[in-house]
Amino acid sequence: MKEHNASKRNGKKKITPKKNAAKQKKKRKKEYRSYLKSFEWNQIKEELFSVRGKVCEECTSTKRIEVHHLTYENIFNEEPEDLMILCRECHKKQHQDRNAK
């Protein structure tokens, strides 16, 4: 008998490239979030703050300071030039500007 569900083969779910890509993206996002809570990331941030100061590099605010990745190419192995110190408001704006492109 011919099976009518195209997403199943031999009783197993067929993983399409699109679904696989979505799963990989979700996995990377989870790893990234975990990394942002890690001791290693905290050390990177503190070193950056000690060199550049804990001040927004866009507006000079000293409130709600965060570190922004300018690129994700070196994620988990960032260089200082890959990072930017921003206040929360400027950080949100950076992401809005990036998503608008």
- The domain locations on the chain are 15-100
- Residue 71's alpha-carbon distances to 44, 67, 84, in angstroms, are 15, 12, 10
Asked if pLDDT for residue 6 goes beyond 90, the answer is no
**What's the rounded Cα separation, in Å, for the pair 18 and 7?**
12
Q: Which one is predicted more confidently, 40 or 9?
A: 40
Asked if residues 51 and 80 have their Cβ atoms less than 8 Å apart, the reply is: yes
pTM of the model: 0.74
15-100, which class in CATH?
Answer: alpha beta
